[in-house]
């Protein structure tokens, strides 16, 4: 009896030990859907000792195709096949050791309830409003500090500290954004950044499926998408597949030794940022390796997308967010840094699942040859092909600032910069799907770049909203936020939106405390944005421009039914342009209507342009 009792206790102890060792910490993606185009799903399972167990599923329409062990014994990767007849519901994944069930996990297949039109991507009919959430509006002060996370302070006076902006603040601002005329919002990442400091920006992700508690909850994020959609505003997700934060949960126990690049070295290898190695015929292998494999900064480990399990994880993660939020697009950060083959797989798999979706990639190069390389449809000499619909027009951004600040009397300077920049559009597969902008969260504010000249700020906005492409406006540009005296200081560039915090003396929502110039620019941009909304010629029409002369630049956007003349005049005096020069477009038309003032203007012989302004005429 004693012997049997001893054996029984031993068996109970062993079972308890196995259960503790195999405690499941997470399964990702946390849920999935029936009815997806791709029937394949790969689950990442994390738990101590889970690699020693065998998963089993007994659910009609769901089958395990293969189980993969990792280098770490604390991971399993399970390949599932979801048959078309699989029904929504929950089922148990049983993890067995020999014949005993050591652990169970309930997994859910949801029914796809979002209509297809919710996955229509942004295009040239939209205007995108870029937001740094921590600096935009504090809608819920109760979530300013999260004791479970490392950074536990709020200090609006410190440029690199957290200021308290959140998802609720964006939700509260949607009516303002809708009334202004914006049709899409792009918040920088809202996912968890559990770093000790300087992670307010969101690009050091520590949980790819978790919303940062200081921004809100997953339910808040879904509400933001739904409330924006009610107002005709699409939500763009800011993705980061190149790197994560050094405090990411998997960094303490990587699934595979090659999950992160240069992980085995004693010191961090930082990328050389030589992005041209992706196209350079003569680039050294070592430069390519450091560019694609080097860490973005010492606190942002570089992910190795050549690991097939990580590649699948990142692709599924983006699809999960598209489906969960009903997104209108993705902006992919640091686009040329990952491996090119992965970028093709990533973009093409997303676009195969959502054919009308939109993805824009950040390639911060002012060389249009480099930027054009990544766009879908581009025929490249090395045979590289992409499914990336849109690229960001950094070349045009640089030329816009030079065009408006240089002296037009100097050869090759001034407005001719814009003229020659657009002349490069022949290198792009689809110029209408390029994202144009005056500034963003990583560069000096456009107001600072234009030396605080409110007339030039208005001119820049008018140009961006009438030239080809998809315009993006950085939050606060409408009230001329600047970073004067702090060139290149990201903490100042990403300053608080006036009125986003209770007690702000200046309030951009109501206009209280704005200077006359700020109010003028805001009103002008609002009028222009709302006018632009239904103008097919401005969105998708053809473009013809005429070489700049004497500080003026004229171009036309037109279809068979609409013709718009846009004229930029940098001079301090009114200018009369000879209408005969534009005969091939004007074609005998004698009158035009100023779309801002509604005033009719005779253009039979001359076209009068006000001093230091942009005039838009409907012919």
Residues 46, 378: Cα–Cα separation, whole Å: 41
Residues 558, 563: Cα–Cα separation, whole Å: 4
> Could you tell me which of 525, 403, 527, 404 has the C-alpha nearest to residue 476?
525
* C-alpha distances in Å from residue 480, one per residue of 444, 450, 535, 588: 12, 11, 26, 40
Q: What is the DSSP string of 35-73?
A: S-S--EEEEEEEETTGGGSEEEE-BTTEEEEEEEE-SST
Strands ordered across the beta sheet of 552-558: 542-549, 552-558, 563-569, 613-618, 591-594, 600-602
Are 432 and 391 in contact, with CB atoms under 8 Å apart? Answer: no
> Could you tell me which of 472, 523, 603 has the C-alpha nearest to residue 180?
523
Residues 53, 312: Cα–Cα separation, whole Å: 22
Catalytic residue among 362, 393, 425, 482: 362
Structure tokens at 316: 């599924």
Pairing of strands 542-549, 575-578: unpaired
Number of H helices, E strands in the chain: 15, 26
Q: Does the active-site annotation cover 333?
A: yes
Structure tokens at 308: 């097939």
Q: Three-class SS of residue 482?
A: coil
Q: Does the active-site annotation cover 362?
A: yes
Catalytic residue among 126, 333, 345, 393: 333
Q: Can you name the residues that pair with 78 across neighbouring β-strands?
A: 43, 67
Annotated active-site positions, please?
333, 362
């Amino acid at each position: 009896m004693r012997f049997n009792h001893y054996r029984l206790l031993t068996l109970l102890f062993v079972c308890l030990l196995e259960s503790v060792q195999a405690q499941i910490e997470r399964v990702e993606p946390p849920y999935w859907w029936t009815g997806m185009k791709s029937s394949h799903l790969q689950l990442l399972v994390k738990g101590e000792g889970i690699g020693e167990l065998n998963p089993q599923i007994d659910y009609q329409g769901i089958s395990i195709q293969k189980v993969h062990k990792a280098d770490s014994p604390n991971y399993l990767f399970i390949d599932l096949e979801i048959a078309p007849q699989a029904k929504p519901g929950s089922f148990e994944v049983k993890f067995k050791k020999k014949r005993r069930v050591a652990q169970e996990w309930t997994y859910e297949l949801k029914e796809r309830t979002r209509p297809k039109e919710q996955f229509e991507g942004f295009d040239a009919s939209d205007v995108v409003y870029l937001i740094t959430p921590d600096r935009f509006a504090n809608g819920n002060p109760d979530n300013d500090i999260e004791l479970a996370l490392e950074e536990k302070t709020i200090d609006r006076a410190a440029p690199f500290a957290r200021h308290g902006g959140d998802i609720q603040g964006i939700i509260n601002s949607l009516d303002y954004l809708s009334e202004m005329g914006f049709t899409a919002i792009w918040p920088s990442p809202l996912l968890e950044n559990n770093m000790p400091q300087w992670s307010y920006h969101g690009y050091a992700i520590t949980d790819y499926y978790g919303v940062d508690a200081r921004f809100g909850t997953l339910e808040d994020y879904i509400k933001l998408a739904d409330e924006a959609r009610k107002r005709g505003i699409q939500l763009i997700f800011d993705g980061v597949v190149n790197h994560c934060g050094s405090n990411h949960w998997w960094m303490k126990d990587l699934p595979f030794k090659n999950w992160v690049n240069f992980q085995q070295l004693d010191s961090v290898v930082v990328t050389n940022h030589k992005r041209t190695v992706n196209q350079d015929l003569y680039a050294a292998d070592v430069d390519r390796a450091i560019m694609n494999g080097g860490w973005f900064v010492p606190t942002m480990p570089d992910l190795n997308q050549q690991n097939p399990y990580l590649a699948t994880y990142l692709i599924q993660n983006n699809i999960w967010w598209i489906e969960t939020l009903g997104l209108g697009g993705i902006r992919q950060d640091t686009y040329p840094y990952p491996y090119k083959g992965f970028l093709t797989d990533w973009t093409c798999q997303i676009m195969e699942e959502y054919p009308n979706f939109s993805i824009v990639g950040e390639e911060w190069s002012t060389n249009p040859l480099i930027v054009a390389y990544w766009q879908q449809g581009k025929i490249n000499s090395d045979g590289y092909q992409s499914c990336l619909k849109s690229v960001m027009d950094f070349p045009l951004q640089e030329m816009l600032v030079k065009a408006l600040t240089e002296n037009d009397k100097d050869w090759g300077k001034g407005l001719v910069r814009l003229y020659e920049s657009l002349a490069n559009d022949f290198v792009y597969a689809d110029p209408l799907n390029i994202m144009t902008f005056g500034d963003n969260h990583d560069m000096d504010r456009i107001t600072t770049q234009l030396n605080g000249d409110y007339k030039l700020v208005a001119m820049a906005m008018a140009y961006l909203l009438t030239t080809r492409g998809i315009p993006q406006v950085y939050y606060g540009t409408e009230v001329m936020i600047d970073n004067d005296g702090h060139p290149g200081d990201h903490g100042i560039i990403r300053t608080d939106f006036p009125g986003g915090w209770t007690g702000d003396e200046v309030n951009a929502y109501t206009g209280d405390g704005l200077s006359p110039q700020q109010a003028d620019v805001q009103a002008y941009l609002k009028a222009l944005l709302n006018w632009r909304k239904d103008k097919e010629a401005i969105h998708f029409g053809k473009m013809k421009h005429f070489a700049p002369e004497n500080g003026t630049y004229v171009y036309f956007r037109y279809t068979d039914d609409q013709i718009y003349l846009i004229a930029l005049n940098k001079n301090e005096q009114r200018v009369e342009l000879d209408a005969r020069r534009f005969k091939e477009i004007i074609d005998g038309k004698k009158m035009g209507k100023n779309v801002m003032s509604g005033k009719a203007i005779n253009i039979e012989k001359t076209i009068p342009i006000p001093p230091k302004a942009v005039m838009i005429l409907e012919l």
